[in-house]
Amino acid sequence: MATIRYRPVDASRWLLWAATALVFLLLPMIFSGGFAITLLSQMGVFIIFCLSYNIIFGQGGMLSFGHAVYSGLGAYFAIHALNWVSASESFLVSPWTVALLPLVGGVAGAIFGVIFGYLTTKTAGTPFAMITLGIGEMVHAASLMFPGFFGGEGGVSTNRVIGNPVAGVTFGPGIQVYYLIAAWCFLSMLAMFAFSRTPLGRISNAVRDNPERVEFIGYSTRHVRFIVVIVSAFFAGIAGGLTAINFELVTAENVSALRSGGVLLAVFIGGAMFFFGPVLGAVIFIFFAVALSDYTKAWQFYLGAFFVLMVMYAPGGVAALVLMNLRVAKHRLFGRLRDAYTGLLLSGLLLGIGVIMIIEFGYHLSLESARSTVASLFGLPFDAAAGSTWVLAVGTTLAGALTFEFMRRRFRSEWDGVQGEIQLIEDRERLQ
Amino acid sequence: MEFFVIQSLIGVSYGLLLFMLSSGLTLIFSMMGVLNFAHASFYMLGAYVAYQVMNWIGYWPALVVAPLVVGVLGAIIERYGLRRVHRFGHVPELLFTFGLTYIVYELVQLIWGRAAVPYQIPSTLDGPLFTVFSTAFPTYRGFMMLVALVMMASLWLLLTRTRIGLVIQAALTHPETVEALGHNVPRVFMLVFGGGAALAGLAGVIGGNAFVTEPAMAGQVGSIIFVVTVVGGMGSLAGAFIASLLIGLLQTFAVSLDWSVASGLANFGVAVPASNFAYPLLTLTLSQVAPVLPYLLLVLVLIFRPRGLMGTRET
C-alpha cells in the first residue's frame, strides 16, 4: 500500500535562511572598518563553535567543561597542516588549500571526539561534566609539556597567504578571510540545523529529556551520546581551523579552560534550548570580549554580572526573551507593556550607570592612580580620588537600585497579567 | 630518608589544606547537588580579607574575622542568589556559581590590584619548627596542619554530636525525608553553604601566606579540589580526606622527582637515542608531568570507579 505524503514547502524557513545569507553578505559593506571586519570574523568563528557546543549541551543534555579541547586541537592540526603544505612546494600550495583547511581541523576534532568521546560518554550528568573538566585540564597541561607540537608559550604561527592568487583571492586581506569564514559559518549552520532534524538529532533530544525511556525503546543512550559528541567535535574542529587561518597563530590558550568556560557562558546567555540561541550568544560574547575589552579593563566583570543576572532572571537566555516578546507582539498586547518597559529600562539605565561609575573609578584607582587620578567616563573627566565623585557614583547607584526595584515590581505584575491573558486567548482558540 | 620525611610532611600539610577546601565543597555538593565552582573564589576572598584585617588589627584576629566575613558572604549569596536559581534545576545553579567566579576574580582585582599582595606569615610563626638531619621544617607548615586538624575535629564533633549536625547528616542522603519531618531544609542549605564558604575562607587565611595571595590563586586550586571531591567520592567526607592526602602527597613528590622512563631504562643499561620517535615522551620527567597527574587520576577514577574511592552514589 502506497503512503501518501504531503509536505508543504516551509516558505518562512527558506526566507529566514536566505535572509541569514544576505546578512552575512552585506554586513562587511555596512561595517567596513578594519576593526569591524576583525570583529565580524571572530563572531563568525565563534558562532560555529557555540552551535557545535550546543549540539551536546542544549540538544544532547551533556554539560561539558572541556569543549575547547576539540576546537583547540583542531586548530593545532590545521596550522601544522598549513605549515607542512607551504613547505612542501607541491601543487597543494594554493589558496584553495587554505579555503579547505577547516576540514583538516574538523577531521582532527572528530578523531579526538572519537577518543575522548569514548572515554567521557560512558557517564552522563555530573560525572560527564567532571570527566570533561579533567580531560580539558589534562590537554591544557600537556600542551606545555610537548613544545614540539604545541609550540610552548609562544604557540605555533603560520602565514595564510600561499601560492598564486585564484581569481584575485589570496586570503591576505581581512575582508577575504571574513568571506571565507562567512561561507563556512553559513554552511556549518545549515549542516547543524539539518543535523538537529535527523532521527539521530531527535533521539539525542530524547536522551536529554528521558534517558530511561530511550533505553526502554531499544536505543543505547551511550551510543547516541558518543556519536553526538563526535559530530559536535567535528564542527568545533572546523571552528578551530578557521581560528588558525584568522589569527595565523595558535597558542595553548586555544585549549584552555578559559575558552571552554567562555563557550558555555555564551551558549547559556544566548539560550541553549533554541537553535538560534547560541548564534545570539556568540555575537554578544564576542562583543563583550573584543569590543568592550577595548574600552574597559573590567569587561570580565560586566560579562560575569550579565551572565549571573541571566541565570537568575532569564534562564532561557536572550532567545527566550525575544520569543516571549514576539508572542506578546503577535497578540497585539505590547502597548500595555510599553510604559512598564520604559520605566524598567530607564531605571535600569540609571542603576547601570551608577554601577559602571563605581567599577570604572575603582579600577582606575587600583590600576592607574599612580599616573593620574582623572578617569574619563562617557567622554567626561572625573577625579576618581575625589570624595564628590564617589558620592555621585554611590548616589546614582542607590537611586537606580530603588527605582529599579519599584519598576521591576510594576513590570512584573503587568507582565504576569499580559501572559495570563495570552494564555486565555490561546486556550480559547484551541477549544474552537 | 631526609628527603622522604620532609616531602611527606609538606605533602601532608598541603593535603590537609586541600581537605579544608574540599570538605566544604563535599558538604555543599552532597546536600544541595550544587557543584560550587565559586568555592575556590571563597578561598581567595579569605586570603585577601585576612591580608586586609591583618594590616588593620593583626594576624590572630584575622584568623577569626576573615572566615566569618567569607561565611556571611556565602550565606548571603545562597539566600539571595542561589536559592532563586534553585527552582530552575541543577545546571543553572552550577552556572550561577560559575558566573560568580568571574565576578569575584574581577572584584578582587578591583579592590587589591592585579599584582600579588604582601600577605606575610606572622613573625611568631616564622622560622623552622624542627630539623630533620639537615633540612628545616617550617613552623608555619606545622601551624597549617594544626589548624586543619582542629577544624577537622570540630567539624566531626559538629556533625555527629549536635542536633543541627544530625539534620545535616540526614539531609546528605535523604533531603526529602528530612524536609518531610519538618526541618527547614532551605535554612540548613544556607547554613551549610555559609559554613562551607567559611571553611574555604579559613583555608585561604592559612594558605594565602604559605603560598602567594594573588588573583590567580583561585584558579590554581579550583580544579584540584574538584579532583579531590570526585576521587574521594561525591558526598563522602572520609573519602575527601583520603583523596586530599593522596593528591597532596602525589603532587609534592611528583614535582621534586626528575625520574623519567628514559632515566629508568638507563638504570638497566638501555640508552634512548635522541633520534627515537618517542624521545620527547620518554625523557619527560615526573616533575614535568606533575600538573597532569591529578587530572589523570580524576579521569581514571571516573572511568573505572565512577562513585569514587569512598562514595556511595554516582551523582
Calculate mean pLDDT across residues B235-255: 86
Residue from B223, B225, B315 whose CB has the most chain A CBs within 10 Å, to mutate:
B223
Query: What mean pLDDT is reported for chain B?
Result: 83
- What gap in Å lies between CA B200 and CA B49, rounded to an integer? 12
Q: Do A304 and B106 touch (CB under 8 A)?
A: yes
Residues of chain B found within 8 Å of residue A63, distances taken between Cβ atoms: 91, 94
Q: Is the pLDDT of residue B231 over 60?
A: yes
Checking if the pLDDT of B315 tops 60, the result is: no
Question: Cα(A222)–Cα(A118) distance, rounded to whole angstroms?
Answer: 9
Position B312 scores a pLDDT of 64
Look at A134 and B299 and tell me if their CB atoms are within 8 Å: yes
* First-last CA distance in chain A: 35
Interface check B181 vs A, CB under 8 A = no
- In this complex, do B299 and A298 lie within 8 Å of one another by their Cβ atoms? no
On whether the CB atoms of residues A74 and A236 are closer than 8 A, the answer is yes
Rounded to an integer, the average pLDDT of A44-67 is 92
- For residues B41 and B47, give the distance between their C-alpha atoms in angstroms, rounded to a whole number: 10
The answer for residues whose C-beta is within 8 angstroms of residue B106's C-beta and 6 or more apart is: A298, A300, A301, A304
Q: pLDDT digits over A246-277, tens only?
A: 998 888 888 888 889 899 989 999 988 888 89
Which pTM was predicted? 0.87
Across the interface, whether the CB atoms of B315 and A126 are under 8 A apart is answered: yes
- Angle of helix A68-88 relative to helix A221-247, nearest 10 degrees, comes to 50
Which of A155-159, B158-162, B190-194, B304-308 is least confident? Answer: B304-308
Are the Cβ atoms of B111 and A134 closer than 8 angstroms? no
The pLDDT value recorded for residue A106 is 94
Is residue A1 scored above 60 in pLDDT?
no
Q: Among B98, B104, B305, pick the best mutation site for testing chain A contact (most A Cβ within 10 A).
A: B98
Shortest CA distance to B135 belongs to which of B240, B5, B16?
B5
Alpha carbon of A91: minimum distance to chain B alpha carbons (Å)? 29
Taking CA–CA distances from A63, the nearest residue in chain B reads B91
pLDDT beyond 90 at A172: no
pLDDT above 80 for A4: no
Q: What whole-number distance in Å separates Cα of residue A323 and Cα of residue A274? A: 10
Interface contact flag, B110 A129, Cβ < 8 Å: no
Provide the pairing of β-strand B128-132 with A380-383.
Answer: unpaired
Phi–psi pair at A416, nearest 5 degrees: -60, -40
Matching residue, cell 572519537: A114
Asked if A404 contacts A350 with a C-beta cutoff of 8 angstroms, the reply is: yes
Q: Which of A210-224, B71-85, B222-236, B260-274 has the lowest mean pLDDT?
A: B260-274
Model pLDDT, residue A372: 66
Under an 8 A CB cutoff, do A311 and B302 touch?
A: no
Q: Which helix (H) or strand (E) holds B5?
A: helix B2-32
Q: Which residue, B197, B76, B222, is CA-closest to A261?
A: B222
Give the closest of B110, B292, B306 to A366, CB-based.
Answer: B110
Residue A328: per-residue pLDDT: 81
SS3 sequence, chain A?
A: CCCCCCCCCCHHHHHHHHHHHHHHHHHHHHCCCHHHHHHHHHHHHHHHHHHHHHHHCCCCCCCCCCCHHHHHHHHHHHHHHHHHHHHHCCCCCCHHHHHHHHHHHHHHHHHHHHHHHHHHCCCCHHHHHHHHHHHHHHHHHHHCCCHHHHCCCCCEECCCCCCCCECCECCCCHHHHHHHHHHHHHHHHHHHHHHHHCHHHHHHHHHHHCHHHHHHCCCCHHHHHHHHHHHHHHHHHHHHHHHHHHHCEECHHHHCHHHHHHHHHHHHHHCCCCCCHHHHHHHHHHHHHHHHHHHCCCHHHHHHHHHHHHHHHCCCHHHHHHHHHHHHHHCCCHHHHHHHHHHHHHHHHHHHHHHHHHHHHHHHHHHHCCCCCEEEECCEEEECCCHHHHHHHHHHHHHHHHHHHHHHHHHHHHHHHHHHHHHHHHHHHHHC
In CATH, B2-304 is 1.25.40: no
Instruction: Please report, rounded to a whole number, the percentage of residues in chain A having pLDDT higher than 70.
Output: 95
- CA–CA min distance B126, chain A (Å): 30
* Contact residues, B window 274-303, toward A, CB-based 8 Å cutoff: 280, 284, 288-289, 291-292, 295-296, 298-299, 302-303
Percent of chain B surpassing pLDDT 90? 12
Nearest to A315 among B88, B234, B296 (CB): B88
Each residue of A302-327: pLDDT tens digit? 888 888 988 888 888 898 888 888 88
| B98–A264 CB contact, under 8 Å | yes
For the CA atoms of A110, A115, A119, A123, the dihedral, rounded to the nearest 10 degrees, stands at 10
Distance CA B84, CA B50 (A): 30
CA atoms within 13 A on the CB side of B273: 2
Q: Which residue of A has its CA nearest to B226?
A: A130
- What is the pLDDT of chain A when averaged over all its residues? 86
Give yes or no for residue B273 having a pLDDT over 80.
no
Q: How far is CA A300 from CA A196, A297, B74, B285, in A?
A: 32, 8, 21, 37
pLDDT band of residue B44 (cuts 50, 70, 90) is: very high
Q: What is the reported pLDDT for A70? A: 94
Nearest CA-CA distance, residue A17 and chain B, Å = 31
pLDDT tens string B73-104:
999 999 988 888 888 877 888 889 989 998 99
Q: Do B96 and A142 touch (CB under 8 A)?
A: no
Q: Which of A28-42, A153-167, B51-65, B261-275 is predicted least confidently?
A: B261-275
| Residue B308 to residue B314: CA distance in whole angstroms | 8
A120-149 pLDDT per residue, tens: 888 777 788 888 988 998 898 888 888 878
With contacts defined as CB-CB under 8 Å, which chain B residues touch A304?
99-103, 105-106
Q: What are the residue boundaries of the structural domains of chain B, listed by start? A: 2-304
The region of weakest confidence among A18-22, A190-194, A362-366, A383-387 is A383-387
pLDDT band of A167, cuts 50, 70, 90:
confident
Residue B31 or A226, more confident: A226
Rounded to a whole number of angstroms, the distance from the CA of B85 to the nearest CA of chain A is 6
DSSP, collapsed to helix, strand or coil, labels residue B184 as: coil
Predicted local distance difference test score (pLDDT) of residue B31: 76
The SS3 call for residue B136 is strand
What's the rounded mean pLDDT across residues B233-242? 84
**pLDDT confidence bin for A92, thresholds 50/70/90:** confident
Distance, first Cα to last Cα, chain B: 42
B271: helix, coil or strand? coil
Comparing CA positions, the residue from B204, B223, B212 lying closest to residue B71 is B204
Higher pLDDT, B265 or B112: B112
What average pLDDT score do residues A226-250 get? 93
Q: What is the mean pLDDT of residues B28-41?
A: 84
Give CA–CA dist A159/A85, Å, rounded. Answer: 11
pLDDT of residue A228: 95
Report how far residue A307's alpha carbon sits from residue A314's, in angstroms, rounded to the nearest whole number: 10
- Chain A CB within 8 Å of residue B2 CB: no
Judged by a CB distance cut-off of 8 A, whether residue B106 touches chain A is: yes
Q: Which residues of B touch A127 (CB under 8 A)?
A: 230, 302, 306, 314-315
Query: What pLDDT does residue A6 have?
Result: 62
Four-residue CA torsion sign, A258, A259, A262, A268: negative
Which residues 6+ apart lie within 8 Å of A324 measured at CB? Answer: none
pLDDT of A399 strictly over 90: no
**Chain B neighbors of A315, CB-CB under 8 A:** 85, 88, 92
The string of pLDDT tens digits covering residues A105-119 is 999 999 999 999 998
With 80 as the cut, is the pLDDT of residue A163 above it?
no
Between CA A64 and CA A308 the distance in angstroms is 19
Q: Which domains are present in chain A? A: 12-295 (1.10.3470), 331-431 (no CATH)
Give the mean pLDDT of B182-187.
Answer: 84
- Put simply, the answer to whether A366 touches B234 (Cβ < 8 Å) is no
The pLDDT value recorded for residue A410 is 84
- ipTM for the assembly: 0.84
**Residues forming a β-bridge with A382:** A375
Q: Which pLDDT value is given to residue A178?
A: 92
Per DSSP, what are the bridge partners of residue B314?
none
CB contact under 8 A, B110 and A125: no
Q: Helix (H, G, I), strand (E, B), or coil: what is residue B285?
A: strand
Between the alpha carbon of residue B180 and those of residues A233, A247, A257, B170, B185, the distances in Å are: 45, 58, 41, 12, 10
Residues in chain A: 432
Q: Do A141 and B291 touch (CB under 8 A)?
A: yes
Q: How confident is the model at residue A9 (pLDDT cuts 50, 70, 90)?
A: low
Mean pLDDT calculated for residue range B24-35: 81
CB hemisphere CA count around B94 (13 angstroms):
18
Surface-to-core class of residue A138, CB atoms within 10 Å of its CB (0-12 exposed, 13-18 middle, 19+ buried)? buried
pLDDT at A226 (0 to 100)? 94
CA distance A51 to A74: 16
Hey, which residues does A374 pair with through a beta bridge?
A383
The packing angle between helices A34-56 and A221-247, to 10°, is 170
Higher-scoring residue by pLDDT: B206, B273: B206
Confidence of residue B280 (pLDDT cuts 50, 70, 90): low
Reference B142, options A364, B150, B134, B294; nearest CA is B150
Residue pairs between chains A and B whose CB atoms are closer than 8 Å: 119
Which grid coordinates are listed for A354?
A: 551608577
Contacting B residues, span 66-95, partner chain A, CB-CB under 8 Å? 81, 84-85, 88, 90-92, 94-95
User: Is residue B68 over pLDDT 90?
Assistant: yes
Q: Chain A partners of B296 at a C-beta cutoff of 8 Å?
A: 134, 138
| pLDDT over 80 (residue B126) | no
- Residues of chain B with C-beta less than 8 angstroms from the C-beta of A146: 280
